[in-house]
Each structure stands twice: as C-alpha cells, then as structure tokens.
Amino acid sequence: MNVTVKYFAVCHEMLDRSEEEMDLPEGATIKTILKRLEEEWPEIAEFYEVMQMSVNWEYATENTELSEGDEVALIPPVTGGFDV
C-alpha cells in the first residue's frame, strides 16, 4: 500500500525533504516508517522520544495501523504562539 509521509520543521531539515510517498507492506504501522527512516539516518531515532506522529490529521501512536492512502506526519514538539 502507498502512504504519504510529511516532515516538518527540524524533521524537514534533517531529512532534506518535506514529504514522500512510501510503499509499505499490508499491516504496516507507524513503527514501520520510523524504522525505515532510522536505516537512512540513524540519528533521527534520538528525536523519536519527543516527537509525535499523526495519521490523517489526528495524533497517533507507533502502533497505529496504516491503510492505503493515509497521510502520516512526523510532528516535532510544537512551538506556535508566543513566549510570555
């Protein structure tokens, strides 16, 4: 199955791309994507602890199962708004 994976902010910079299509086996979860990214760039694993993931605009976990056409995103710690 094919899913779209989006990368933002520090992830976008680390991987040098903002999104890509991934062909995944049936039954794949977000963890499947994380492992694949780790093979390409091992240091990214250090960020997994503080990073969140989403599927179709909703926060998800590593164990969330994926379906054809899903939009997955890696969400670094969010810092919108202001600082006061």
Partner 1 sequence: MFKITTEVITGAEVREAVEGPDAGAVVLFFGTVRNNTDGRAVRCLEYEAYPPMAEKKMAEIAQEISEKWGIPRVAMVHRVGKLEIGDVSVAVAVASPHRKDGFEACKYAMDRLKQIVPIWKREIWADGETEWVKPDAVFFDAPKPHKTDPQTD
- CA 54 from centre of chain: 7
Q: Which stretch binds partner 1 (CB under 8 A): 20-28, 33-41, 54-62?
A: 54-62
32 binds partner 1, rule: CB under 8 A: no
46 binds partner 1, rule: CB under 8 A: no
Residue 71 tokens, joined: 């939009």
Q: Which stretch binds partner 1 (CB under 8 A): 2-10, 20-28, 30-38, 39-47?
A: 2-10
38 φ/ψ angles, rounded to the nearest 5 degrees = -65, -35
Sheet order of strands, 52-55 included: 19-23, 2-7, 71-75, 52-55, 58-60
Of the pair 12, 22, the CB lying nearest partner 1 is at 12
Q: Which stretch binds partner 1 (CB under 8 A): 20-28, 31-39, 40-48, 55-63?
A: 55-63
